[in-house]
Amino acid sequence: MRTMLRAAATFAAAATAVVTLGGAAQAKPADTPWDGCPSGAVCVYGEGVVPRDNPHPTAVYYSYGAHNLSNQTGSHWVLNNQYGGATMSLCDGYNGTNCGTPIGQGVGVNANLTPVNSITLNRP
């Protein structure tokens, strides 16, 4: 039950934080970098860093599937610069388990990564 409540809280926090940098969510065309995040990638920025002010992600993921996080605590921007309808999910468990609602391409979230242990890149 405790895990379910934590997952619900993580999802609620991520859902309320779904915004893009500078306004409404916009899908990015293929082959277009976004604040230092290469086309086709999901990028994580340092704690408290605003990507447009410091376009240097600390982690860049290209391959579909789960990517475990380590030493990621506090508020981080996570940008989904994939294309073709690919989504990403923030997951409380390692190896892509206990994931929240998928986040679409061209969307960035400012999320508390303290309870997040992995990110999945999901095929369209």
Segments making up each domain of the chain, as ranges: 2-122
Q: Span 2-122: which CATH code?
A: 2.60.20
- What was the pLDDT predicted at 32? 78
- What was the pLDDT predicted at 31? 66
pLDDT value at 9 more than 60: no
d(CA 43, CA 30) in angstroms, rounded, equals 15
DSSP state letter for 20:
B
Per-residue pLDDT tens for 10-31? 444 444 344 433 333 344 455 6
pLDDT value at 119 more than 90: yes
Query: In what side-by-side order are the strands of the sheet with 118-122?
Result: 65-68, 118-122, 87-91
Q: Provide DSSP, 55-110.
A: ---SEEE-SSEEEE--S--SEEEEEEE--TT-EEEEESSGGG-SB---B-TTEEEE
Mean pLDDT of the region 32-57: 95
- Identify the three-state secondary structure at position 6: helix
